[in-house]
Every structure is written in structure tokens, then in C-alpha cells.
């Protein structure tokens, strides 16, 4: 059930039986030259659509912006930052809390959103409410290790294929991983914000475009993706989300410590 399609009366009726709501969080950011900027938004939105078919859960409108400062510079990328996302999330959940919602199930499509979500969870817990975060791309890799992937790699490419295969730019799907030593030759870039030096990893936060020219990163080459993979993966995540919601609604809410 989509909140945006409901009347206030319908929301009231829902709240007589339930106190849970799903928030779908995305991002608008570069995902390699083969992928659309909306990748992190459209995949969880697709999972939400499939969850809706098998669950009574109320689903709030999808937020297409996230905290993605690291990908700024790639044209089209929009970041509202960790603080901006936290502010929006607190406004959304405070509004919903006022009507009686107490279980906020976040279906998240972007790793950079995690800090804001964690802050939100810690804020809501003493108020007698839970925030549960389903990071779909990490969980998919746990449920099936063959699906595990990085940023803009085969896992997410398969996810976009499940939404609409025509959104992929197949002229660029064969591009290899391009990592550059942008700090100095002695410190090769080895991952998001990471460099390797003398056998250990040092974190040096910086814009990804300095060390990762095309903007996809991972061990899962995008050209390994198939639509079948994507279809199975988003359906599995939707099945999981529906079961999770069912069980999570049985959990006793945390004790309210203050208002």
C-alpha cells in the first residue's frame, strides 16, 4: 500500500492494526558509464513494488536523493550530504511518529546513506520506536554469494536490468575497473577512500573520480550481469522483506525513555 495513494482516513484505519512503514531510500549518482544515475533509487523501488504484492506494509514515497559527497564531480550526481539526509529523515519520521508509526523499515539502495540511517535509529530508539535498515545489495550477497558485488558492478547492473534492460548503455558495459594512484605512487588506491602502504590500509577520504576514472568499482565485472540474475535477486529481496516485516511486527517495541 503506497502512502501517497491513501486518504488520511485509510492511514487512520491502517494505524488501528499496524505501526510499521517502509521508507525507500535511494541516491542520484554516477554508477559507471554503463548505468543510469538513478540506479540506487530504482532498484530498491522495484523491490518495494514486489514487496507490496505480498505484504500489507505501508510504503512512503521513495526518496531519490542521498548522501554521496564522494561521487560529486561526475556530472549529474546530486548529494544532500549526511547532515541533509539526516535532517530529511528526522522530519519524515517525526511526522509519521506523530500519527503512531513506530517501526520504520528502511529499504536502502546506497551505502553512503548508512551514517544518517544509523543516527536516526539511535535517535528513535529511546522514543520507543525502531529503525530497521535493509541494505539490499549487501543482504543479496549474503543470501547468495554469487550475487555479491560492488558499486556499479554486475550485481547492480543485474538489478537495473530487472527494472528495465534498456536503461543500460551496452557500449560501455565492458569497461574494466580503473583504479589510479592519485595520492602518490607509493600508495596505490585499493578501494573507496583507501590506499595501501607497507602492507596495511590507510583511509584518505576524497572524491572517487580522482582514483576511479569511470566510477564503477568492485570485483563483479558489469558485463557478467543478466536480466535473469536481476529478476531472481529483486524477487528474493522482496520475499525476504515481506517475511522480515511479518516477524518484525511481532517484536515488542523498545521502552520509551523520554518524549
Q: Applying CB under 5 A, which residues contact Zn ion?
A: 40, 156
Query: Is the CB of 40 or the CB of 45 nearer to Zn ion?
Result: 40
CB of 32 to Zn ion, least distance (A): 10
CB of 66 to Zn ion, least distance (A): 10
104, 141, 109: which is closest to 119 by C-alpha? 104
d(CA 152, CA 256): 41
Query: Is the CB of 217 or the CB of 240 nearer to Zn ion?
Result: 217
CB of 37 to Zn ion, least distance (A): 10
Query: Is the CB of 38 or the CB of 55 nearer to Zn ion?
Result: 38
CB of 155 to Zn ion, least distance (A): 9
d(CA 142, CA 175): 26
- Which residues are CB-neighbours of 102 under 8 A, at least 6 positions away? 19, 20, 128, 129, 130, 253
Query: Is the CB of 101 or the CB of 147 nearer to Zn ion?
Result: 147
- Residue number with the shortest CB distance to Zn ion? 40
Q: Is 15 exposed, middle or buried (0-12, 13-18, 19+ CB in 10 A)?
A: middle
Q: Residue with C-alpha cell 536502502?
A: 108
193, 189, 194, 159: which is closest to 177 by C-alpha? 189
Query: Is the CB of 14 or the CB of 217 nearer to Zn ion?
Result: 217
CB of 39 to Zn ion, least distance (A): 5
Amino acid at each position: 500500500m503506497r502512502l501517497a495513494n491513501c486518504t488520511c482516513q485509510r492511514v487512520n484505519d491502517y494505524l488501528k492494526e499496524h505501526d510499521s512503514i517502509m521508507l525507500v531510500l535511494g541516491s542520484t549518482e554516477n554508477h559507471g558509464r554503463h548505468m543510469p544515475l538513478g540506479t540506487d533509487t530504482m532498484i530498491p523501488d522495484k523491490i518495494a513494488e514486489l514487496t507490496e504484492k505480498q505484504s500489507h506494509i505501508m510504503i512512503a514515497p521513495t526518496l531519490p536523493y542521498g548522501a554521496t559527497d564522494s561521487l560529486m564531480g561526475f556530472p549529474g550526481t546530486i548529494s544532500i550530504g549526511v547532515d541533509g539526509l539526516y535532517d530529511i529523515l528526522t522530519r519524515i519520521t517525526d511526522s509519521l511518529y506523530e500519527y503512531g508509526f513506530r517501526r520504520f523499515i528502511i529499504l536502502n539502495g546506497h551505502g553512503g546513506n548508512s551514517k544518517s540511517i544509523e543516527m536516526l535509529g539511535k535517535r528513535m530508539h529511546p522514543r520507543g520506536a525502531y529503525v530497521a535498515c535493509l541494505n539490499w545489495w549487501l543482504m543479496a550477497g549474503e543470501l547468495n554469494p554469487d550475487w555479491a558485488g560492488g558499486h556499479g558492478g554486475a550485481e547492480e547492473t543485474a538489478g537495473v536490468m530487472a527494472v528495465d534492460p534498456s536503461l543500460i548503455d551496452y557500449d560501455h558495459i565492458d569497461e574494466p575497473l580503473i583504479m589510479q594512484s592519485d595520492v602518490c605512487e607509493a600508495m596505490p588506491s585499493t578501494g573507496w577512500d583507501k590506499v595501501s602502504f607497507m602492507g596495511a590500509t590507510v583511509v584518505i577520504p576524497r572524491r572517487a573520480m580522482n582514483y576511479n576514472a569511470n566510477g564503477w568499482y568492485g570485483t563483479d565485472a558489469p558485463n557478467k550481469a543478466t536480466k535473469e540474475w536481476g529478476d531472481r535477486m529483486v524477487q528474493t529481496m522482496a520475499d525476504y522483506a515481506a517475511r522480515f516485516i511479518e516477524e518484525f511486527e511481532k517484536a515488542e517495541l523498545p521502552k520509551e525513555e523520554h518524549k
